[in-house]
Amino acid sequence: MLSLVLIGYGPIASYVRDHLPKDSGVKIAAVLCRPGREDTARAFGGADVMIATDVSDLPTDQLDLAVDCAGHGGLTDHGVALLQAGVKVLSLSVGAMADPDLAQRLEAAAQKGKTQLEFATGAIGGIDALSSAKIGGLSQVRYVARKPPLGWAGTPAETVMDLATITKPTEHFRGPAREAALRYPKNANVAAMVALAGLGLDATEAVLIADPTAKGNHHAIEASGTFGTITIQLEGKTLPDNPKSSALAAMSMVRSILRHTASIAI
């Protein structure tokens, strides 16, 4: 039985809880939440699930995997302590790796705990092909994100355009994936995933576009190297109960968890 601790209890965590098959050999043993949120977390987890606000309160020797469903804050607040305690961490918050100090502390903690920080592929496909192509040599990788204008609300895009009135696709960022991930922490996990799978955060170009004609969140990868060329396009939907959470990202988290118990993994 694979024993999990969930970090957070929001839309991604709810999807994970609801879509783990009963016969999967996976058990949600605990939920980590913010202080003062214990009652809500308890209602989410049920009577048999331990609720904690700090890693020090958890029986880490009885946990196999920590599943970070709380965004960058969850990984920043709890990732180092979990890894140091020897608990493998699975996260969607790959954009947090754009912070060199945090990335270094997470890597050092994983080495100390003799464990691993793993990132689910999230809202994009083709990461396996891109990371394989990296072995032979990549010469260029570009990631392009198109979202409806209001999908960029609350981001630096608001400082360069009026999102409510634009009538045609308008680019509001072009630059290194690291800068995109740091400036758009809630919107650029995909840019960071593409970058880390390929040429790295500083050599991967990210282009962010507000597009009033877009029906959903559109992701594209263009890459070339000794292997040939890759062009991947994906238009993703959000979770029905949360327009800010990618449905495919939630699905990728469940898939990653189930790979830990599968006799044959793909």
pLDDT at position 188 is: 81
45 backbone dihedrals φ, ψ, rounded to 5°: -85, -30
CATH topology of domain 127-239: Dihydrodipicolinate Reductase; domain 2 (3.30.360)
Q: In what order do the strands lie in the sheet with 217-225?
A: 170-176, 205-210, 138-147, 217-225, 228-236
Residue 51 pLDDT > 90, yes or no?
Answer: yes
203 backbone dihedrals φ, ψ, rounded to 5°: -100, -5
**Stretch 207-225: mean pLDDT, rounded?**
95
Q: How many CB atoms lie within 10 A of CB 240?
A: 9
Q: Which residues contact 240 (CB under 8 A, 6 or more apart)?
A: none
Sort 8 into a burial class: Cβ within 10 Å, 0-12 / 13-18 / 19+. Answer: buried
**Stretch 12-19: mean pLDDT, rounded?**
97
Q: Percentage of residues in the chain with pLDDT exceeding 90?
A: 92
Which CATH code is given to the segment(s) 2-122+248-260?
Answer: 3.40.50.720
pLDDT at position 231 is: 96
Q: What is the pLDDT of residues 169-187, one digit of tens each?
A: 999 999 999 999 999 988 8
pLDDT at position 180 is: 96
Read off the pTM: 0.94
pLDDT at position 185 is: 87
**Stretch 158-171: mean pLDDT, rounded?**
95
| CA–CA distance, 165 with 44 (Å, rounded to integer) | 40
Answer with the residue of higher pLDDT: 216 or 51: 51
Answer with the residue of higher pLDDT: 83 or 242: 83
Handedness of CA 192, 211, 152, 92 (dihedral sign): negative
Centroid of chain to Cα 258: 17
Q: Which residues in the chain are classed under CATH 3.30.360.10? A: 127-239
Residue 243 pLDDT > 90, yes or no?
Answer: no
- In contact, 6 and 13? CB cutoff 8 Å: yes
Q: Which residues in the chain are classed under CATH 3.40.50.720? A: 2-122+248-260
Q: What is the pLDDT of residues 17-36, one digit of tens each?
A: 999 998 899 999 999 999 99
| CA–CA distance, 235 with 223 (Å, rounded to integer) | 18
Tokens 């238009």 correspond to: 235
Catalytic residue set = 219
Answer with the residue of higher pLDDT: 188 or 133: 133
- In contact, 10 and 253? CB cutoff 8 Å: no
